[in-house]
Structure 1
């Protein structure tokens, strides 16, 4: 199955990258811990158990964490990856996944992928927990999205 040529829409890619970060286990744990710390410090500040400076530090930590994962990291990755500026075509065959542009292409065997997941606008194909490729759903016409999902379920054994 072959998709049509596609380009990446920056706001959708940024959303997909946010989705990637928020679904990572270590980031979820860190966000939960920082939120518990911020709530605890707010409670302790309210009951006059800690100084305003300690409450300020916990609040700043919370804001820095949210700004980093919500704005800075997705934008940095978008700017660094040249594939997001390219016009690509995805080819899903029985043996491999292939990406092509006007200058050439690259193939990966299905066994090279460890897992996959679906976000609102993309299929995320993971090599490792930090190395992945995203394919926009709108690259596939009509029912081809369902066919692509079926191929990913069949060929990439572990779904996250």
Structure 2
């Protein structure tokens, strides 16, 4: 199976948000900060803490949320050359090859740890931090998308 694709900035930013939010350590931090913010609001409303303490906790919440929602995804997008190229990707029996006008790279299936799906992408994970985004829009039909999903399921099973 062969697909051709480029990247759409809005969709990539959304996929990067998905990646960051699904990381366990970030999820835990977001939950803790949200609980802290709710607790500070309740304590403020019951006059147990000052307005300054509530404002500081609100500011902390706003900074954290904006960093995961806006700053980090945009920073990764701007720094990565990958998103500026057009690619051809071949899925073979022994692995997959990613090519563009400046070269190509081949990975064996065993180097792929797992994959996840977001609304517009397949996220191919090599480890917890290294991943490749494959746009679902590269599949010309729903059948081709289903075939790609099957290929990924077969080659990441049991990992």
C-alpha RMSD of matched pairs (Å)? 1.0
Q: Secondary structure at the match of 1:141?
A: coil
Q: Secondary structure at the match of 1:134?
A: strand
TM-score, with structure 1 as normaliser: 0.96
User: 1:157: which partner in 2?
Assistant: 157
After the TM superposition, which parts of structure 1 deviate over 3 Å for at least 4 consecutive aligned residues?
none
Q: Deviations over 1:23-52 (max 9, x none)?
A: 111111100000000000000000010111
Structure-to-structure mapping, 1:43-82, within 5 angstroms: 43-82=42-81
Distance (whole Å) between structure 1 residues aligned to residue 74 and residue 28 of structure 2: 22
Unaligned 5+ residue runs, structure 1? none
Matched, 1:103 2:102: yes
User: Aligned-pair distance for 1:90?
Assistant: 1.1
Contact 1:114 1:128 in 2 (8 A): yes
Q: Deviations over 1:43-74 (max 9, x none)?
A: 00000101111111110010001100000000
Distance (whole Å) between structure 1 residues aligned to residue 84 and residue 135 of structure 2: 14
Contact 1:115 1:158 in 2 (8 A): no
User: 1:41: which partner in 2?
Assistant: 40
User: 2:128: which partner in 1?
Assistant: 129
| Bigger mean CA offset, 90-99 vs 9-18 | 90-99
Contact 1:114 1:158 in 2 (8 A): no
